[in-house]
Chains A and B, each alone.
Chain A
Amino acid sequence: MLYLPGNNPNMLLRGHLFKPDGLIIDLEDSVSRHEKDAARILARDVLKRGEFGKCEVTVRINGTETDLWREDISFVVPQGVSGVRAPKVETPQAVKDLDEEISSVESKSGVQVGSTKIFCLLETALGVWNAYDIAKSSPRVTAIIPGGEDLAADLRTSRSKEGTELEWVRRMLIVAARAAGVDALDTVFPNISDGDGLRREAGFVKQLGFDGKSVIHPSQIPIIHEIYTPTDREIDTAQRIVAAAKEAAERGLGAVALDGRMIDAPVIRRAEFTLERAGQMGKSENRG
Chain B
Amino acid sequence: MDASAIKVAQAGTVESMDCRVTIAESDCPMIIEISGISAARFKAAMQAKVADVLESLGASQDACLKVDVQDNGAIDVVLGARVEAAYLRFIGVYES
Contacts and interface: CB of A to CB of B under 8 A. Distances in A.
A263 interface: no
The residue among A9, A34, A37, A41 with the most chain B CB atoms within 10 A of its own CB is A9
A150 B78 CA distance: 32
Contacts of A44: 81
Contacts of A41: 81, 84-85, 88
Interface in B69-90: 74-75, 77-78, 80-82, 84-85, 88-89
Contact of B88 (A37, A45, A46): A37
Interface string A31-54: 000100110011011101100000
A9 B74 contact: yes
A115 interface: no
Contacts of B84: 41
Interface residues of B, number: 21
Interface stretch (B11-19, B22-30, B37-45, B58-66): B11-19
Contact of A38 (B15, B75, B77, B82): B82
The residue among B16, B18, B78 with the most chain A CB atoms within 10 A of its own CB is B78
Nearest to B88: A37
A26 B63 CA distance: 35
A91 interface: no
B96 interface: yes
Given A9-B74, A13-B75, A38 B11 contact: yes
A237 to B, nearest CB: 46
Contacts, number: 45
Interface in A72-129: none
Instruction: Specify the main secondary structure of chain B where it touches its partner.
Output: mixed
Contact of B80 (A34, A37, A38, A45): A45
The residue among A10, A34, A48 with the most chain B CB atoms within 10 A of its own CB is A10
Contacts of B17: 9-10, 13-14
A8 interface: yes
Contact of A37 (B16, B78, B89): B89
A38 B15 CA distance: 15
A34 B85 CA distance: 12
A14 B94 CA distance: 28
B2 interface: no
Given A34-B96, A38-B11, A38-B12, A9 B85 contact: no
Nearest to B75: A13
Contacts of A38: 11-12, 81-82, 85
A45 B77 contact: yes
A8 B85 contact: no
B52 to A, nearest CB: 13
A62 to B, nearest CB: 15
Interface in A1-33: 8-10, 13-14
A14 B88 CA distance: 27
B79 to A, nearest CB: 10
Given A9-B78, A10-B17, A14-B17, 16 more contacts: A8-B18, A9-B74, A10-B16, A13-B17, A34-B95, A37-B89, A38-B81, A38-B82, A41-B81, A41-B85, A41-B88, A42-B81, A42-B82, A44-B81, A45-B81, A48-B77
9 contacts: A9-B78, A10-B17, A14-B17, A37-B89, A38-B11, A38-B81, A42-B78, A42-B82, A45-B81
Interface of A: 8-10, 13-14, 34, 37-38, 41-42, 44-46, 48-49
A-B pairs, top 6 by smallest CB distance, nearest first, are A38-B85, A37-B94, A10-B17, A42-B81, A9-B78, A9-B17
